[in-house]
């Protein structure tokens, strides 16, 4: 597997273990207005569900990567709303989700210029911040280089497009996406 970013960079993802990925059974109600009721309602419901859930973030489930199966049995059992004519369809489906937890180790790609405060990295949809306080004591910020970077004993450098292995300290999932604070101060973490 490869960790990719919007900027096109990537790094090997040996740290993306199976513990962050789940295959879940999920439910969602879809509302269809009367003007959209037609012969191929099943196709409409499938496409509407995929558009709504794939690539979305849920605090409870994490980032929904892909819908793998839609329960066809209940696709035509809608309830008509009084007064509006809208039809509500209860949808059951299976999806692959990505939800990292505290203390998990993950490989990420540094995506922005490094500052004296630390750096931002991405692992799929997860945006990670590593503070200078969560780096080994030998890592020093060097703003005399272009671009600025952290450099450690032995010439180890952290700058934009560097692959790093980090341990997640805390996560936050909201409508804007997934965010984490991480460290690479421990053994077996750091530049890979």
pTM summary value: 0.80
Number of alpha carbons in the 13 Å side-chain half-sphere of residue 93 = 25
Rounded average pLDDT over 97-114: 93
Rounded average pLDDT over 95-110: 94
- SS3 label, residue 54: coil
CB-based contact 139:152 (threshold 8 Å): yes
| Cα gap 82→61, rounded to integer Å | 32
Mean of the per-residue pLDDT values of the chain:
87
**CA angle in degrees (0–180, nearest 5) for 86-90-91:** 120
Q: Residues 50-81: pLDDT tens digits?
A: 999 999 998 889 999 999 999 988 677 889 98
CB-based contact 107:11 (threshold 8 Å): yes
Rounded average pLDDT over 113-127: 94
Q: What is 134-177 written as a DSSP string?
A: GS-TT-EEETTSSS-EEE-GGG-EE-TT-EEEEEEEEEEEETTE
Answer yes or no: is pLDDT of 175 > 90.
no
Rounded average pLDDT over 175-189: 91
Q: Residues 25-58: pLDDT tens digits?
A: 999 999 999 888 888 888 999 999 999 999 999 8
Q: Is the dihedral of CA 44, 49, 51, 54 positive or negative?
A: negative
Confidence label for 135 from pLDDT (cuts 50, 70 and 90): very high
| Cα gap 185→166, rounded to integer Å | 8
Number of alpha carbons in the 13 Å side-chain half-sphere of residue 73 = 3
| Cα gap 66→53, rounded to integer Å | 8
């Amino acid at each position: 597997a490869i960790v990719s970013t919007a900027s096109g960079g990537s790094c090997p993802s040996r740290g993306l273990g199976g513990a962050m990925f789940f295959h879940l059974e999920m439910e969602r109600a879809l509302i269809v207005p009367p003007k959209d009721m037609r012969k191929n309602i099943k196709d409409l419901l499938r496409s509407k569900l995929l558009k709504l859930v794939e690539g979305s973030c849920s605090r409870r489930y994490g980032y929904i990567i892909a819908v793998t199966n839609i329960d066809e049995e209940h696709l035509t059992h809608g309830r008509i709303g009084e007064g509006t004519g809208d039809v509500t369809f209860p949808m059951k489906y299976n999806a692959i989700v990505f939800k990292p937890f505290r203390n998990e180790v993950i490989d990420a790609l540094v995506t922005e210029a490094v500052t004296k405060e630390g750096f931002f990295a991405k692992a799929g949809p997860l945006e990670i911040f590593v503070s200078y306080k969560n780096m080994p004591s030998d890592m020093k910020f060097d703003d005399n280089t272009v671009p600025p970077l952290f450099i450690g004993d032995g010439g180890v450098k952290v700058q934009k497009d560097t692959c790093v292995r980090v341990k997640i300290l805390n996560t936050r999932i909201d409508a804007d996406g997934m965010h984490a604070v991480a460290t690479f101060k421990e053994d077996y973490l750091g530049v890979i």
